[in-house]
Structures are given as structure tokens and as C-alpha cells.
């Protein structure tokens, strides 16, 4: 179905199994490392979801953080105002993010050129402004503290970092696995054809606008869910998570990691988060480095970190 | 009275939006490049002006054009050093098609430049907002009926209008201006009639970045100068450009005034918190209803 | 009649690119469109295939009015075009290039099994002489092979009418013969073909009927012999050499 054969599934599963095995013992390294890894994983899914849009369909979105925020706020408000279980709320958050994606996406995607980039920029700003100004709903710039954690399952209390870690791990591996399958499927190939040449895709029967919307819905859904999980983990959110700066941070992960490769953005998330930690004392130079990395990647290594790793692996094999 | 004041302010700021928007629309019209770093040139214009004022002394309104030229030179350097090789590379890969600048890679490059510049400004000038001193801000002009505004605002407006008129005349009547318009229409055809499109690209970068810088320089004394001021402006700049029609110079000028006015009035009727949203809502509406921009002829 | 074009007009600002052009194409025939540069041939193509909306006029495909219908819909109905400047999906393999057409027209979720799709794609690649290159990225192909890939990809949509925009452009004589061989085989399988070409040798040898455009207007229509002897046509091409079929 969808052009995904059993062979493809078994082939990819190998990598995820390995990743699972490698990541299971992480909590042994202590609370701090666990915390950082959780955040890396949530960012990784968000960056990978952005890659579906940017790398595979070739459409630039500069407001992805806004969808992350929509997911976070939706789940939070549902839990705190209407007692909706976060297990369900997070999923609804993802759907809500997709709805927002549809609202923004439909007029912008029918157009060519950088219209999506520009309108996503504007959309992100509008979402941010709404979060700040609709303070009767969102508590404005103060943010919302005291967000309920994921409800316990039996004896497992998800307020503990370790317990949450495994939820995040499962979520991350499953999400990226699904996205990976998508890129190998027929839909993936059609999206790539749109990236390569829209007119040519149209001329061979591809309903380009429709598939762009699909890509958008998928990308925003996963961003929304990541946001929901984030909210119930940190248990505090503020409009800060929806700013242009955040969107660019996520985009940087996708680009520097290597867009169009899905795994690249995951690597990008890990590397940039690592840099963030290492540069704690030099926080002001962060964006200088990100900016330079983006420029370097664009000019010399379009496949980003993923490409570099592949290159090294190939040399090692020889 | 408040209404009249807001209308006046709106038009005044609209003139500046026009200057910023025009640069962006030109670079899109001629090079098909969506320059997401455009706001940073605006920011650099403000900081360069500040630096010149502190080093040389003098009025920022006199030094702003100087800063604009300096930033324009930076723009040309970026074109030559960063863009040209990527352009050639894409030309090789894609064959004889035109307009390589609209490739995703270029847009990402400008995003990289943008965050680089923001951080550079942070490092060089610090995060604390600066105000550029100018005696003109103290001079208040009082009109009959109670309207008042600083001389600085008036001068800024006048400079903006003069620049726009000058630019229009340049594009319409000079040989280079015609060459620019020809390149915007069809670069291959322009090449055939002897236009050196690389030179045109350099000139366009110079004008585009210079205009943004000029706007930054003359607004410096009125508003504060801080490293992320470009980010705040770039979204607005794109709103102006889309509303006016991407690549449409007159459209951007008109849209600039429109947005400035709409913002001021919006702020008056909806409250200042919603002032910012007005511009973006207009953009979304334009995208839904008339994506070519209000004057049409914007490239889709 | 598989294609009927009636009174199509297309303007760009003050310029009339296509000025009241009408013609029809019979099932299974090879129809050529020629004319000096800028005569409006590609614009006409773009109107017929849904990339431009005409200012007036109608286009009928198999009797059905398709004026202004979107290109992807037309491809599904059986009307597919290729591009003058080839547009391969550069970052994808040759096989994937063709597969995309099959997925787009047959169905993304189901409609055709993966095995059948790959088989069909390989069949088409063989037909176009590209099977041995199926796993190579399209961007690695030389110009001649890209031209054939362009046709292969269009064929994968199972067209009843194939519209080729300068399929021989930039090719060496040998490559040209290879492409024309593919075109003939296409016609033999019952598909009607409309070709825009500059190369007279190609047009005269392959087409059954030819229409000549100049300044957006039709100035002649007929068999290759008739066209080569037509005063208007000769005047339009004054200064250009062309080979006449003797």
C-alpha cells in the first residue's frame, strides 16, 4: 500500500531497532543528560516534520514554531480548563496545529515562489501576537505554569524524568519511523517531484496544490504533537515558544542537519542542542555560529551534517 | 483630532515602509530573490549611522545617506562573494532557465545571513537599545488645531518621499534604469540586447540594501536601535511587498502608505496591542483575495 | 478528431501572442506546428495544456470542452505534454521519474500494485531506450538521454494525445534519429502526436500534416509538400535555410 513494500519496512526497521537499543540506557547517565535528550528528541521530531515540507516538498516555512506552540497551548488549555486527559489532548493539539496549517496553507500553497515562506513568517508573528494579547485565554506573556503532567498509568508516574523519557523515546522513534516510511512511499516521491519541478509534476498528472497541502498537514501535525508533549513535560509554556527566533532555530536544525534526508534534521537537532549546551557561557555568539553554519552548508555541503557523515562512512569503508 | 494625528503619523511611517518595501520588491523583481536578510540591512543602516555620528559627529540625517552607501557596498560584496558562485552552480545544473535566485538554497542563504548579521550587531554594539542623538528630535512643530510632531519625523518623511521620487525617476528615465527594468522582465532578452546582467544585479543589490539602510538611518533618531530591529521590520516589509505586488515598485510605494495608515488607524480603533496584527491580517487577506497585489502585475 | 482548437486568443499586456488560431488533430495522426521564433507556438501549447488560460476560444479533447482545465487533470484524461527545455526531476532516479507519472495517473494509495507499476515503468524505459540507466539520477544524464526521459515520463501517463515541444532541440543528428524513432513507435501504438519543431528535416519526415504560425496567426496548413511550396511560409522563413522533402 502506498508503494511501501515489506522489504522497505524491514530494511528501515533495522535502524530504528538499533537506535532503540542505543537510547534505552540513557537515563542511567543522570537527570541532566536525560533532560537534554528529551528536549533533543522533541526538537528532532519537529525538525524532521519541517523537513517533509522544506526538504521533500521544497517549500520553505518560517513559522513552524507557531504550530509547535498551537499544539502546546491546545493541549494545555484542554487539560486545565476542561479536564481533558493529556493523552488525548496532545493528539487534539496535533489536529489543531493541522487545522491552523490548513488555514494558512491553502491560499499560500496555490501560489508560486516564496509566498509560503513569507506568509508563514507573517502567520508565526500573528500567532505570537495572539498568544501575547489574548491574555484572558493564554495569560499573555506570563505564560501558563502548573500544567498537569501526563496522567499516571498504573504505578508509573510521568512526573519523573525517567518515565517521561521513555514516552518521549517511543513517540520520537515511532514518529520518525512513520515519516521515514512516508518519504519512501509514493507520496514521498510525488512530494519530491514537486520539489524538483512543479510544472513538470503538473504536466504528468500530479495535483500539486493538493499534495502541498498534504505535506503541510503532516508537518504541522507532528510539530503540534511535539508541542503538546513539551507542555506536559516542562509543565510551563509561554509565547516565547512561538517566536520567529524559535522558528529559525528549528529551521537551522533542518538545514544544517541536511534537508531532504529526514535523518539529517535529527542529527541537526542533536548537534545544535549540543552546541547550545557547550556555548552556555557564550550565548550571544550562538546565532553567529548558526548563521555561518547555514551559509557554509548552503554553499559547500548542501546535504549538511548527514552528508558529511555519509561521506566519512564511505571513506571508512574503502 | 486624534484621528487626524494618527492619519498624519500613519502617512509618515508609511513613507518609510515604502522605502523599505521598494528595496525588497526591486530585488525580487529583478533577481527573483526573496531576501530575508533585508531587515538586517535596515538595521545595519541604523547602526552605521550611529557609528558615523559618534566617530565623525554631525546630524544623523546628513550621515544616514553615507551609511546607506556603505551598506550598499556591503550588499554588492555579498552579491559578488556569496551569491555569484551559487548562481553559476545552479545555472550549470539547471540549464538555460532563468531566475536561479528563487531557488530554495538562496533563500536559506539569506536566512543564514540574517541571523549572522543580527548576532554580529549584538556582538559589536551590545544588546542594549541605543538612540541616535539628533537635535531635530527636540524640535517640535506645532500645527494649528493642536497637531504636533517632531521635526525629525517631518525630515524623515521628506527624505523618504524624495528618495522614492528619485528612485522612480531613475528607473523610468535613465539608461541604467531601463536596463534594470528590462532585466526584471526577461534576463535572457536583456542579455541579447547588450545588458550586462551581472552588473545590473550588483546595482540592484546596492540600491536595495542601500534603501533599507537609509530607512534605518533616518528612523534611528526617532525610534530605538537594537540588534533585532531588522527582524521586526522584515515581516512588515514583506507585507508591503506582497500587498503592492512583488516586483511592482509603484505598488510597494502605495502599499507602504496603505499599511502605515491602516496600522495607525487600527491602533486607534482597536488599541495599540493590535496595531501590529493589522499589517499581517492585511497580508493574509491580500494572499487570499488578490495575490498579485492591489495593483496587479505582481509576479505570482 | 481527438483535438479541436477553436479561435484561441492569448494576450500578454498589449502583445497578442496567439491570434485566433484554430486547427484540429485526427486520432492517431502526427501533426506538426512550425513557425519562426516568437510565432506563439509554445504559448499555444501552454494554452491547450492548461498552463495558460486563453482570453477567448475553446479547446476540445475527444469532444469534451477542456478549455482552461488544469494540466494535471488533462494528463489524467490522456493529454500530456513535454517541455522545450527539459524538466527532469533531477534529484530522482530515472526509474522514479517515470514512476511519478504512473503514481499520479493511476493512483497514489492503490489503483496499481507496486510490482505492476515498476514493471510498467521499466517497459516504458525500454521503449525509450533508457532501461539500462534506470537507477541513475536524472541529473547525471546527458542532454540527449534527458530528452528521451522527457518523452518516457510523458508516455507513462498513457496519453491518447502526446504534445511534444521541440523534442529534437539541441540534439546531434544521431540523437535526433533516436528520438524520432521513439516518436514513430509512439504513433504506431495509436497515440496521436502534436510536435512543435524548428528542425525541418524532422518535421517533414515525420509529420502527416503541418500548421504554420507566424506572429501568433495561422498562415498555412497542409501536407509537408504543400507547406514547403507555400509562398507565405517561404516568406515567413526568409533568411532561414530549410530542407525540402523532394
The verdict on residue A54 lying in a domain is yes
Do A202 and C110 lie within an 8 Å CB cutoff?
no
At residue A221's C-alpha, the angle toward residues A215 and A224, to 5°, is 140
Using pLDDT thresholds of 50, 70 and 90, give the confidence band for residue A300.
Answer: confident
User: Predicted confidence band at B299 (pLDDT cuts at 50, 70, 90)?
Assistant: very low
Q: Is residue A288 part of a domain?
A: no
Number of domains comprising chain A: 1
Residue B25 falls inside a structural domain: yes
Residue of C51, C85, C145 to mutate when probing chain B, most B C-beta within 10 A: C85
At C20, which helix (H) or strand (E)? Answer: strand C15-25
- Cβ C80–A204 below 8 Å, yes or no? yes
Residues of C in contact with B96 (CB under 8 A): 85
Q: Chains that contact B by 3+ CB pairs under 8 Å?
A: A, C
Residues of C in CB contact (< 8 Å) with A are 49, 51, 70-72, 75-76, 80-83, 87-92, 96-97, 99-101, 103-105, 108-110, 114, 117, 153-154, 156-157
* Band (C22; pLDDT cuts 50, 70, 90): very high
Looking at every residue in chain C, the average pLDDT score rounds to 87
C12 in reach of chain B (CB within 8 A): no
Name the residue facing B93 among C85, C86, C90 (closest C-beta).
C90
Write out the three cell numbers for B162.
524624495
Q: pLDDT value at position A78?
A: 92
Whether residue B258 is predicted with pLDDT greater than 60 in this model: the reply is yes
Interchain CB distance below 8 Å, B97 and C86: no
Pairing assessment for the beta strands A144-145 and A236-237 based on DSSP bridges: antiparallel
Report whether B210 contacts B203 (CB < 8 A). Answer: no
Distance CA B239, CA B29 (A): 15
Residue B123 to chain A, least CA–CA distance (Å): 7
Which residues, in sequence order, are CB contacts of B217 under 8 Å at separation 6+? Answer: B45, B46, B48, B49, B60, B61, B63, B64, B65, B67, B68
Smallest CA–CA distance, residue A210 to chain C, in Å, is: 11
C-alpha cell at C53: 488560460
Interface of B with A in 219-258 (CB under 8 A): 231, 234-235, 238-239, 242, 246
- Residue A31 CB coordination number (10 Å): 12
Residue range C134-147, pLDDT digits in tens:
899 998 898 888 98
Is residue A265 within 8 Å of residue A253, measured between CB atoms?
yes
* Nearest-CB residue to A122 (from B111, B123, B283): B283
pLDDT per residue over C60-112, tens digit each?
A: 999 899 998 999 999 999 999 999 888 999 889 999 999 999 999 887 777 78
CB pairs under 8 A between A and C: 94
At B136, the pLDDT band (50, 70, 90 cuts) reads low
Of B4, B77, B25, nearest to B239 by C-alpha is B25
Q: What is the pLDDT of residues A112-152, one digit of tens each?
A: 667 777 778 888 888 998 898 888 888 888 888 888 888 88
In a domain, A295, yes or no: no
**Residue B260 falls inside a structural domain:** no
The C-alpha cell at B12 is 509618515
Secondary structure element (H or E) that encloses residue A193, with its range: helix A186-196
Closest CA to B147 of B8, B262, B15, B11: B8
pLDDT the model gives residue C94: 94
For residue C245, pLDDT over 50 is answered with: no
Residue A289 lies in a domain: no
Q: Which of A187, A197, A202 sits opposite C71 (nearest CB)?
A: A202
Cell of C145: 538521454
Q: What value does the mean pLDDT of chain A take? A: 88
In a domain, B68, yes or no: yes
The yes-or-no verdict on residue A158 having pLDDT over 90 is no
Q: Minimal CA–CA distance to A167: which of A145, A151, A178, A148? A: A151
Determine, yes or no, domain membership for A264. Answer: no
CB atoms A113 and B287 under 8 Å: no
Which residues in chain A have their CB less than 8 angstroms from residue C156's CB? 204
In a 3-state reduction of DSSP, which class is residue B274?
A: helix
> What does the pLDDT average to over A162-188?
91
Q: What is the pLDDT of residue C73?
A: 92
Domain range for residue A94?
A: 6-246
B1 pLDDT tier (thresholds 50, 70, 90) = low
C171 pLDDT above the threshold of 80: yes
Q: What is the pTM of this model?
A: 0.85
Q: How far apart are CA B63 and CA B55, in angstroms?
A: 11
Other CB atoms closer than 10 Å to residue A9's CB: what's the count? 13
Model confidence at A40: pLDDT above 90: yes
Which of C51, C83, C100 best tests the A interface by mutation, with the highest count of A CBs <10 A?
C100
Within a domain: residue B297? no
B54, B99, B40, B95: which is closest to B237 by C-alpha? B40
pLDDT in tens, A252-272: 899 899 888 889 999 999 999
- Please write the tens of the pLDDT for every residue from C173-199: 888 888 888 888 888 888 999 999 887
Task: Kindly report, residue by residue over B45-100, the tens digit of the pLDDT.
Answer: 999 999 998 888 888 888 889 999 999 999 999 988 888 888 887 777 665 545 56
pLDDT at B300 over 60: no
The boundaries of the domain holding residue B121 are 2-130+137-229
For cell 545555472, name the residue.
B91
Query: Do the domain assignments include residue A203?
Result: yes
Looking at residue B296, its pLDDT comes to 58
Considering the domain boundaries, does residue B30 fall inside one? yes
> B129 — contact with chain A (CB < 8 Å)?
no
- Among the residue ranges A81-85, A214-218, B101-105, the one predicted with the least confidence is B101-105
Domain count across chain B: 1
- The one-character DSSP state at B137 is G
Which chain C positions have a beta carbon within 8 Å of B93's beta carbon? Answer: 90, 139
| CA proximity to C102, closest of C83, C115, C86 | C115
Residues 6+ apart with CB under 8 A from B140: B148, B149, B150, B151
Q: How confident is the model at residue C244 (pLDDT cuts 50, 70, 90)?
A: very low
On whether residue B167 sits in a domain, the answer given is: yes
At residue A151, the pLDDT reads 86
> How big is chain A, counted in residues?
318
Q: What is the CA radius of gyration of chain B?
A: 19
Amino acid at each position: 500500500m502506498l508503494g511501501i513494500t515489506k522489504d522497505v519496512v524491514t530494511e528501515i526497521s533495522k535502524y530504528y531497532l538499533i537506535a532503540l537499543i542505543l537510547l534505552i540506557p540513557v537515563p542511567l547517565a543522570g537527570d541532566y543528560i536525560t533532560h537534554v535528550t528529551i528536549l533533543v528528541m522533541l526538537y528532532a521530531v519537529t525538525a524532521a516534520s519541517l523537513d517533509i515540507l522544506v526538504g521533500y516538498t521544497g517549500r520553505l516555512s518560517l513559522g513552524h514554531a507557531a504550530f509547535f506552540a498551537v499544539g502546546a497551548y491546545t493541549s494545555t488549555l484542554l487539560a486545565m480548563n476542561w479536564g481533558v486527559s493529556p493523552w488525548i489532548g496532545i493528539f487534539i493539539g496535533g489536529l489543531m496545529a493541522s487545522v491552523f496549517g490548513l488555514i494558512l496553507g491553502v491560499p499560500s500553497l496555490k501560489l508560486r515562489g516564496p509566498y509560503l515562506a513569507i506568509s508563514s513568517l507573517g502567520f508565526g508573528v500573528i500567532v505570537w501576537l495572539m498568544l501575547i494579547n489574548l491574555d484572558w485565554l493564554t495569560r499573555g506573556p506570563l505564560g501558563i505554569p502548573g500544567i498537569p503532567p501526563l496522567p499516571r498509568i498504573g504505578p508509573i508516574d510521568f512526573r519523573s524524568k525517567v518515565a517521561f523519557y521513555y514516552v518521549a523515546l517511543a513517540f520520537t522513534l515511532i514518529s520518525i519511523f512513520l515519516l521515514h516510511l512516508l518519504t519512501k512511499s509514493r507520496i514521498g516521491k510525488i512530494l519530491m517531484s514537486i520539489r524538483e519541478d512543479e510544472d513538470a509534476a503538473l504536466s504528468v498528472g500530479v495535483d500539486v496544490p493538493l499534495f502541498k497541502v498534504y505535506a503541510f498537514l503532516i508537518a504541522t501535525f507532528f510539530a503540534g504533537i511535539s508541542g503538546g508533549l513539551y507542555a506536559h513535560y516542562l509543565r510551563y509554556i509561554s509565547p516565547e515558544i512561538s517566536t520567529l527566533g524559535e522558528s529559525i532555530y528549528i529551521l537551522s536544525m533542518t538545514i544544517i542537519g541536511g534537508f531532504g534526508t529526514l535523518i539529517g534534521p535529527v542529527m541537526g537537532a542533536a548537534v545544535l542542542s549540543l552546541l547550545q549546551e557547550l556555548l552556555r557561557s557564550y550565548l550571544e555568539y550562538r546565532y553567529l555560529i548558526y548563521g555561518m553554519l547555514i551559509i557554509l552548508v548552503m554553499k559547500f555541503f548542501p546535504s549538511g551534517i548527514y552528508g558529511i557523515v555519509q561521506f566519512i562512512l564511505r571513506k571508512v569503508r574503502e | 483630532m486624534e484621528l487626524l494625528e494618527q492619519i498624519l503619523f500613519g502617512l509618515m511611517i508609511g513613507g518609510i515602509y515604502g522605502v523599505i518595501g521598494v528595496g525588497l520588491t526591486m530585488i525580487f523583481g529583478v533577481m527573483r530573490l526573496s531576501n530575508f536578510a533585508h531587515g538586517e540591512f535596515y538595521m545595519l543602516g541604523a547602526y552605521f549611522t550611529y557609528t558615523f555620528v559618534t566617530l565623525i559627529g554631525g546630524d544623523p540625517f546628513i550621515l544616514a545617506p553615507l551609511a546607506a552607501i556603505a551598506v550598499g557596498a556591503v550588499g554588492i560584496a555579498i552579491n559578488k562573494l556569496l551569491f555569484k558562485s551559487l548562481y553559476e552552480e545552479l545555472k550549470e545544473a539547471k540549464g538555460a532557465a532563468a531566475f536561479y535566485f528563487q531557488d530554495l538554497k538562496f533563500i536559506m542563504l539569506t536566512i543564514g545571513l540574517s541571523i549572522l548579521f543580527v548576532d554580529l550587531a549584538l556582538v559589536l554594539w551590545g544588546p542594549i537599545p541605543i538612540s541616535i542623538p539628533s537635535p531635530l528630535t527636540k524640535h517640535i512643530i506645532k500645527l494649528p488645531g493642536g497637531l504636533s510632531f517632531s521635526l525629525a519625523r517631518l525630515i524623515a518623511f521628506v527624505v523618504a518621499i524624495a528618495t522614492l521620487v528619485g528612485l522612480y525617476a531613475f528607473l523610468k528615465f535613465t539608461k541604467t534604469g531601463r536596463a534594470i527594468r528590462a532585466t526584471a522582465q526577461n534576463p535572457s532578452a536583456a542579455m541579447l540586447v547588450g545588458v550586462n546582467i551581472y552588473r545590473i544585479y550588483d546595482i540592484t543589490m546596492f540600491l536595495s540594501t542601500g534603501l533599507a539602510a537609509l530607512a534605518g538611518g533616518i528612523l534611528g533618531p526617532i525610534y530605538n536601535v537594537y540588534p533585532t530591529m531588522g527582524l521586526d521590520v522584515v515581516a512588515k516589509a514583506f507585507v508591503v511587498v506582497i500587498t503592492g505586488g512583488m516586483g511592482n515598485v509603484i505598488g510597494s510605494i502605495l502599499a507602504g502608505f496603505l499599511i502605515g495608515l491602516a496600522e495607525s488607524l487600527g491602533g486607534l480603533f482597536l488599541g495599540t496591542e493590535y496595531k501590529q496584527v493589522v499589517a499581517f491580517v492585511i497580508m493574509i487577506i491580500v494572499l487570499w483575495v488578490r495575490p498579485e497585489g492591489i495593483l496587479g502585475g505582481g509576479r505570482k | 478528431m481527438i483535438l479541436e482548437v477553436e479561435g484561441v486568443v492569448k494576450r500578454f499586456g498589449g502583445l497578442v501572442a496567439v491570434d485566433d488560431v484554430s486547427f484540429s488533430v485526427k486520432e492517431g495522426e502526427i501533426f506538426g506546428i512550425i513557425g519562426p521564433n516568437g510565432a506563439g507556438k509554445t504559448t499555444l501549447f501552454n494554452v491547450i495544456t492548461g498552463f495558460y488560460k486563453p482570453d477567448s476560444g475553446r479547446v476540445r479533447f475527444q469532444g469534451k470542452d477542456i478549455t482552461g482545465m488544469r494540466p494535471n487533470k488533462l494528463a489524467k484524461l490522456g493529454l500530456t505534454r513535454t517541455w522545450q527545455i527539459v524538466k527532469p526531476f533531477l534529484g530522482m532516479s530515472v526509474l522514479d521519474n517515470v514512476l511519478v507519472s504512473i503514481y499520479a495517473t493511476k493512483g497514489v494509495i492503490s489503483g496499481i500494485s507496486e510490482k505492476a507499476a515498476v514493471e510498467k515503468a521499466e517497459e516504458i524505459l525500454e521503449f525509450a531506450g533508457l532501461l539500462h540507466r534506470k537507477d541513475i539520477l536524472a541529473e547525471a544524464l546527458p542532454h540527449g538521454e534527458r530528452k528521451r526521459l522527457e518523452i518516457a515520463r510523458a508516455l507513462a501517463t498513457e496519453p491518447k494525445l502526446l504534445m511534444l515541444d521541440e523534442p529534437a532541440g539541441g540534439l546531434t543528428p544521431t540523437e535526433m534519429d533516436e528520438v524520432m524513432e521513439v516518436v514513430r513507435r509512439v504513433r504506431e501504438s495509436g497515440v496521436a502526436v502534436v510536435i512543435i519543431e524548428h528542425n525541418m528535416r524532422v518535421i517533414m519526415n515525420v509529420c502527416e500534416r503541418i500548421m504554420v504560425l507566424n506572429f501568433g496567426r495561422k498562415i498555412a496548413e497542409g501536407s509537408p509538400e504543400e507547406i514547403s511550396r507555400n509562398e507565405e511560409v517561404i516568406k515567413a522563413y526568409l533568411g532561414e535555410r530549410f530542407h525540402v522533402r523532394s
